[in-house]
Amino acid sequence: MFLIGHKTQWRFLVRLIKNQRIPHAMIFWGQEKLGKKKAALEFIKLLNCQNNQLRSNKVEEKEFIPCQSCLSCKAIEKSRDPNLFFLAPEEKEIQINQIKNLQEFLMLRPRTGYFKTAIIDQAESLNSEAQNCLLKTLEEPRGQVLLFLIASRLERLFSTIRSRCQILKFFPVSFSEISGEVKREISETELRRIFFLSQGRPKQIMDFLENPEKISQTLKVFQEAEKILRAELFEKFIFIPKFFGKEISLKEMNEFLDGLENYLRLILLKKTGLKNEILDLFNARTIENYSYKKLKKNLENIQTLKNLISQTNVNLRLSLENLFLNLEPN
Ligand SMILES: [Zn+2]
């Protein structure tokens, strides 16, 4: 499947090719699970597509998409293209030796007429040494090379790196864009539910569609969230081992925090009085005595905790207890 949504971004990218103004490095920036890496891959396909008709002026920009069937498109789809290098954090960080491997790859000449491309996923995990090393590559761009840095937190990248990259921001997409693209056997109610839980993020929506058990997991958290918010502090602490068992995995923790976050968003929507039909979708009871200020603070706390656990080895149980301490409504 081609990209879901991100039409403005795609038009911008196509114009770069048409005007032959392809930069050496780009940062695709926006919250997680929007499909930024997918957008980079589709753009790389288009750049190297053997059936690319970009030089024809008869075709509208929005219609320029990779053919998906030539050898190059297929190899990129399967991450088997020798002109594409992919790197992501090992453990929590991207280390300098990974950037050195990338530099070695870039030294080799691409096949004539092709672009050499690399995708650095979760680029905010580049540690300082790795960023310094990468900077050298960005300072001396050479030949038909294009680097993509996929990042959800721009502020963690050196300003010297940011200033050498073309930055393209990605946003959540609308319901109509999703429903237009997802042609599966799924009812509109179910799709609306998934849309709310995914907060309009295409990658997350695809994850839910491919793994329906994740929806029931999220809904379970949803039901627990209401109980947790009403519970006394000691009950909240008892809840943690009851819900997670002896040990909490990072994945479970993230799913739980997503669920909790979505539950607080439901309360927020109810308070605005605008979206009662969403409450009906979930058949959810909500807490009445939450102030806007407190809701906002708690949503921020959850976001901070998500960032913390993705980047450090903080103790998950303790940090969850800490969150619960501040979760009281008022
Ligand atoms: Zn192709």
Q: Which two tokens stand for residue 190?
A: 């179910």
Mean pLDDT, consecutive 10-residue stretches, the chain (330 aa), reads 90 91 96 95 94 64 82 92 93 93 90 89 96 95 91 94 97 90 80 89 91 84 82 86 88 89 86 70 71 89 89 88 81
- In the reported structure, the alpha carbon of residue 80 is separated from the centroid of ligand 1 by a whole-number distance in angstroms of 14
What is residue 60's predicted lDDT score, i.e. its pLDDT? 64
- pLDDT score for 292: 86
68 C-alpha to ligand 1 centroid (Å): 5
Residue 14: the pLDDT is: 92
CATH architecture of 211-325: Up-down Bundle (1.20)
Q: What angle is formed at CA 325 by the lines to CA 321 and CA 330, rounded to 5 degrees?
A: 145
For residue 132, which of 164, 161, 101 has the smallest C-alpha distance?
161
| pLDDT of the residue at 225 | 83
Tokens of 202: 């295409």
What was the pLDDT predicted at 201? 94
Q: Compute the CA torsion angle 214, 216, 220, 225 (nearest 10 deg).
A: 60
CA–centroid distance, 47 to ligand 1, in Å, is 9
Locate the domains of the chain by residue range. Answer: 1-78+145-171, 211-325
CA of 187 to the centre of ligand 1 (A): 33
Domain 1-78+145-171 fold: Rossmann fold (3.40.50)
Question: pTM, whole model, 2 decimals?
Answer: 0.86
pLDDT at 53: 65
Side by side, the strands of the sheet bearing 166-169 are: 84-87, 116-120, 145-151, 25-29, 166-169
217 vs 50, 213, 251, CA distance in Å?
43, 6, 12
- The CA 73 to ligand 1 mean position distance, Å, reads 4
In the reported structure, the alpha carbon of residue 44 is separated from the centroid of ligand 1 by a whole-number distance in angstroms of: 10
How far, in Å, is the centroid of ligand 1 from the Cα of 62? 16
Q: State in Å: Cα 75 to ligand 1 middle.
A: 10
A 10 A CB-CB count for 254 gives: 14
What is the structure's pLDDT at 58? 60
Distance from the CA of 316 to the center of ligand 1, in angstroms?
A: 45
In sequence order, what DSSP letters do the residues of 185-220 get, joined into one string?
S--HHHHHHHHHHHTT-HHHHHHHHH-THHHHHHHH
Ligand 1 centroid to Cα of residue 179, in Å, is 26
Tell me how far apart the alpha carbons of residues 40 and 37 are, in angstroms, rounded to a whole number: 5
Ligand 1 centre and the CA of 12: distance in Å? Answer: 20
Distance 71 CA to ligand 1 centre (A): 7
Per-residue confidence (pLDDT) for residue 235, from 0 to 100:
87
H-only helix segments in the chain: 7-18, 36-48, 71-77, 96-107, 128-139, 159-162, 175-181, 188-198, 202-210, 213-230, 233-244, 250-272, 276-282, 292-311, 316-325
pLDDT of res. 101: 97
